[in-house]
Structures are given as structure tokens and as C-alpha cells.
Amino acid sequence: MSRLQIDVAGNRVTFTGRIDETAQLAPLVGQLPAGAVVLVPEGVTFVNSVGLREWIRFLRALREAGRPVTLERVADVLMTQMNLIGELRGLAITSFFAQYECPTCRNEDQPLVDASLAPVACNECGSPMQLADFPERYLTIFRS
């Protein structure tokens, strides 16, 4: 039994839960309408190695079918895993969640970050926040 909920609304697919050995992503390719696809994995809470393999196969199948793919609101846990896979570099990602820290008041947050990396203001003191982890954990995927 899959622990991943997949909701399809037209060309928009939302993922909630765990991407693991129970995730059945391959059949999804044939169920989507023709044209561009928007994937919204903001609700993903866990990814293991088998689940990541299935995610990569899913993205590869969409690409091989000539389907343009855009990811929006990518969960932190999936974003850091995708950054480890060279094949996924250059993937169209509009926004993602990331661990941020305020150097002024030490507040920690996980805001939604625009892929343009516009500054993020601290919700406690208003100062500019910075990534709380190595930038490569989030930004390598944007390099071609």
C-alpha cells in the first residue's frame, strides 16, 4: 500500500506523504493529459533511495515522452535529495522550501523560496535571512 497520495487536477499533480518503495509513479505518466505538466511536491515528508529512484524514473519518462515539466513548491526533503542527482540539473523549478536562519535573532524558518532567490525577511525581526545549510544542498540543481 502506497504511503504517497497523488492528486491530479488537469495537468497539475500534487504529492503528499512518503516517496518510498511503495510509491507507484510510473503508471501516472499515462494518466496525465497531453502537454506540459506541473508537479507540486510540497507535501512530501520523506524520500528514501528506492523512492528517489522511482521519482527519477518518473521524471525521465515524462521527459522521454516530450512532456515539459515544471516543479513548484518543492519540499525541502525532496529538494536536497534531487540536488545529489546530476541527471536532474537544469530541471525547471519555480519555488522550493529551504531551511533558513536569521543571523540577527537566530530565528529558524522553512520559507517558500522563489527560484530567483529573492531575499527572505525574518518573520520575527525583519532582517534578511540566510540559508541555514550549505547552498549546494539546494542550488546545485540550477546549474547546467
List, edge to edge, every strand of the sheet that includes 12-19.
4-9, 12-19, 37-47, 69-71, 92-93
The DSSP letter of residue 65 is T
Give the global pTM.
0.90
In tens, the pLDDT along 44-100 reads 999 999 999 999 999 999 999 999 999 999 999 999 999 888 888 888 999 999 999
- From the list 92, 81, 11, the residue with the least C-alpha distance to 51 is 81
- Mean pLDDT (whole number) for 39-48: 97
* C-alpha cell at position 144: 547546467
Taking a C-beta distance cutoff of 8 angstroms, is the pair 98, 138 a contact? yes
In tens, the pLDDT along 113-135 reads 998 888 899 999 999 999 988 88
Q: Domains in the chain, ordered, with CATH?
A: 4-99+135-142 (3.30.750.24)
Q: Which of 25-29, 89-93, 106-110, 135-139 has the lowest mean pLDDT?
A: 135-139
